[in-house]
Structure 1
Amino acid sequence: MYKRVMAVLFIGSVLLTGCGNQKELKRQGYHLDTIFEVQLKTDNKKDIFARAQRSLNEGFDRLVELDSNINKLSPLSEISAINANASVRTMDISKITYDLLDKSLNASVFTDGYFDIVWRPLTKLFEMSSPSAERIARARSVSGYNNIALDRSLHRVRYLNTTEVDFEQIKRGFAVDLIRSRLSNVDSGQIKAGNVAYYFGSKKLSLKLTEKENLNLKLNNAAVAVLDATDSYYVNSSAWRKYLPVVSPVDPIRQIIVVAPTAVTAEVLSNAFYFMGVEKSLQKIDSIKKEASRQSMYEVYFVLDDDENGSRVVSSVEKK
């Protein structure tokens, strides 16, 4: 009921303000279990502003479609149909769902398997019970992105066994980029969806890390994702992470902040780094920087709980 009320409050809420040569465009909406907030500044010229407003509305229309397609709680959603049937037959799927699947599988390769939408059989098993060794072994055998096959020419998907996918750890970043990709001639502003945001133009951002330390970021057309390790997904991972297809060290991580060129990359890396652990994550982001044209676009900050000295921060910036 709460979600429905929030949807009524926020969907379609648009505010226009302006002065001088710029005009501000705002919109809010409740999608993907998240409040989306967009604030943009664009040229005040009538045709340019009208184009920005139209593009923003189109972006929110896509959010409605995406939300409907990947709602795992609805038996009528596309993802429910895929999870139920793709192991027995190849399925034609919508372009937006296909693009999300494709992006997710590429993210698994990019993170060496530490981000994976196909851990779902394993995580689902531990949600309501203490499973037997036999059931754990069965879930492990069908977990992992290599169990999904895509036909890129026809937008088709086939599961190679009775597995399932879950987009929870990528959907917000993907959606933010979905809106961003439709916008042009934006001088400054932001698209925010929960713990993920993209900032247009130059932006100074201050985030509280510990009682004594703030993180002051200078961004330029970049995204930021903040992972809260007290979220139930990460807390509950203590029961199943040792069964993952990858080796996942347990570090005292309380928070992870990732800066990246796109929102989906920032969200994916923040999740991957939680399971990758601090040392391997710093090595990984160093290797990413070496391949990137703009190395400063990638950074990671870990807030760690130290029993003896309180919270401390470890980051990729220190390695420069």
Structure 2
Amino acid sequence: MKKYLRLASLICFLLLTGCGSQRELKKQGYSLDTVFEAQIKVDNKKEKIQPAQRSLDAAFERLVELDSNLNKLSPLSEISALNANAALRVMDVSKTTYDLLEKSLNATVFTDGYFDITWRPLIKVFEMSNPTAERIARAKAAIGAKNVALDRSLNRVRYLNNTEIDFELIKKGFAVDLASGQLRNVSSGFVKGGNVAYYFGQKKLSLKLTEKENLNLKLNDAAVAILNASDSYYVNSAAWRKHLPLSAANDSIFQIIVIAPNAVTAEVLANAFYFMGVEKSLAKIAAIKRQASRQGMYEVYFVLDNDENGQRVVSSADK
């Protein structure tokens, strides 16, 4: 009899189906060209579980709504409408899209211009085989946060030039934060969208950096973004980044890992640091940490490819 009781207790512990003090809830969905998943633990009480499940369902409903607003392939999406018409007239947008626009423009200031959602006109020019100097000049004139005007009182947007915006390098972080903000009564767990994740409570996370080196993190209500420089966006950027209105570095970056208090900041910094380069990025993180109330919430790890010498890691945590 005791044997069966011990077995039953073990099953309950492993499955967390109500025999212990906590219940594990999971959900997965596909939005924004990315698989999103959430795994949270809540107190194993009916009055806690039911609201938590409702908030988890609501979080994924917000992701579906966000996907419909940001789908560049749909002529009915808000981003398609903005890029087609906002240079001609003032456009009304949803509060969620407006909030993302505002965060994106603020991120440009925060990163000293190394993150910018208006680079799309320049990128498009270099999708052609041989862009002329005139077309490059027109595209360069259309980039820059100065070309997007926001009316904060009415959630309205107007382009001041023939610019276009692209949320590709911030949308996952924004979505993760949006979903995380919907969740209630969470003691631990995570929300993850592709290479961006937010972890509730205390979490030990191990990431493989190189063949010989692992990164062991101790997180506490923090986000992690991982940038892989083998992605086609970064590989193809060599053609157009020399035309940016700032000096873009050309370090041999293989991977960037950023820890920050929220997913938007983590994703924005990871992408900005690719163009900023190692030296400027370490200086930027140091400046951020001097102003932050929780300095340990900000770190960056660069995995650099040294060709015949293999890979090496440079970290703000070592400074």
* Shorter-chain TM-score range: over 0.9
Distance 1:315 1:155 in 2: 40
Amino acid at match of 1:200: F
Contact 1:16 1:25 in 2 (8 A): no
Say yes or no: does 1:192 pair with 2:198.
no
For 1:236 and 1:124, how far apart are their aligned partners in 2? 11
Other-structure match for 1:65 = 65
Distance 2:218 2:16 in 1: 27
Q: What are the equivalent positions in structure 2 for 1:12-51 lying under 5 Å apart?
A: 17-51=17-51
Percent identity over paired residues: 74
Distance in 1, matches of 2:148 and 2:17, equals 47
Q: Distance in 2 between matches of 1:272 and 1:141?
A: 21
| Aligned residue in 2 for 1:105 | 105
Find the aligned partners of 1:275 and 1:130 in 2 and give their Cα distance: 24
SS in 2 for 1:181: helix
**Which is worse superposed, 216-225 or 69-78?**
69-78
Q: In 1, distance between residues paired with 2:147 and 2:133?
A: 21
The whole-number CA distance in structure 2 between the counterparts of 1:180 and 1:235 is: 31
**Deviation (angstroms), 1:18:** 3.8
Bigger shift: residues 199-208 or 304-313: 304-313
- 1:87-126 matches, within 5 Å, as 87-126=87-126
Instruction: Find runs of 4+ consecutive structure 1 residues off by over 6 angstroms.
Output: none
Q: 1:40 to 1:249 in 2, by over 3 A?
A: same
Residue number in structure 2 paired with 1:263: 263
Structure 2 residue 53 is matched with structure 1 residue 53: yes
Q: What's 1:246 paired with?
A: 246
What SS does structure 2 have at the residue aligned with 1:238? coil
Residues 233-255 of structure 1, C-alpha deviation per residue, up to 9 Å, x if partnerless?
A: 00000000001122101000000
State the distance in 1 between where 2:237 and 2:156 align: 31
1:16·1:26 contact (CA, 8 Å) conserved in 2?
no
Q: 2: CA distance between counterparts of 1:205 and 1:19?
A: 27
**Which residue of the partner structure matches residue 10 of structure 1?**
none
CA displacement at 1:293 relative to structure 2: 0.5
* Partner SS for 2:218: strand
1:201 equivalenced with 2:201 (yes/no) = yes
**Structure label with greater radius of gyration:** 2
CA displacement, residues 267-291 of structure 1 (integer Å, 9 cap, x when unaligned): 0000000000000000000000011
Q: Write out per-residue CA displacement over residues 40-65 of structure 1, whole angstroms, 9 at most, x where no aligned residue.
A: 00111212211111111111111111
Question: Is this contact kept in 1: 2:42–2:188, CA < 8 A?
Answer: yes
SS of the residue corresponding to residue 239 of structure 1 reads coil
User: When the two structures are superposed, what TM-score results if normalisation uses the length of structure 2?
Assistant: 0.94
C-alpha distance in 2 between matches for 1:314 and 1:304 = 8
Q: CA deviation at 1:206?
A: 0.7
Distance 1:150 1:317 in 2: 37
Q: 1:272 to 1:19 in 2, by over 3 A?
A: farther
| Matched AA of 1:318 | D
The within-5 A match list for 1:227-246 is 227-246=227-246
Q: Which residue of structure 2 lines up, in the alignment, with residue 170 of structure 1?
A: 170
Inter-partner Cα distance in structure 2 for 1:54 and 1:129 = 51
Report SS of the residue matched to 1:19: coil
Task: Say whether residues 1:282 and 2:243 are aligned partners.
Answer: no
Moved more, 42-51 or 268-277: 42-51
Equivalent residue letter for 1:128:
M
Structure 2 counterpart of 1:85: 85
In structure 2, the CA distance between the partners of 1:208 and 1:196, relative to structure 1 (3 Å rule), is same
User: What is the letter of the counterpart of residue 144 of structure 2?
Assistant: G
Distance in 1, matches of 2:286 and 2:179, equals 29
Instruction: Provide the residue aligned with 2:160 in structure 1.
Output: 160
How far is the alpha carbon of 1:308 from its aligned partner? 4.1
Quick one: distance in 1 between partners of 2:168 and 2:16? Answer: 32
TM-score normalised according to structure 1 size: 0.93
Superposition deviation, residue 135 in structure 1: 0.5
Q: CA deviation at 1:24?
A: 0.6
CA distance in 2, matches of 1:128, 1:152: 37
Given residue 202 of structure 1, which amino acid in structure 2 is its aligned partner? Q
Partners of 2:86 and 2:157 within 8 A in 1: yes
Q: Partner amino acid for 2:25?
A: L
Q: Amino acid of the residue matched to residue 39 of structure 2?
A: Q
Q: Is the CA contact 2:52–2:184 (under 8 Å) kept in the aligned structure 1?
A: yes
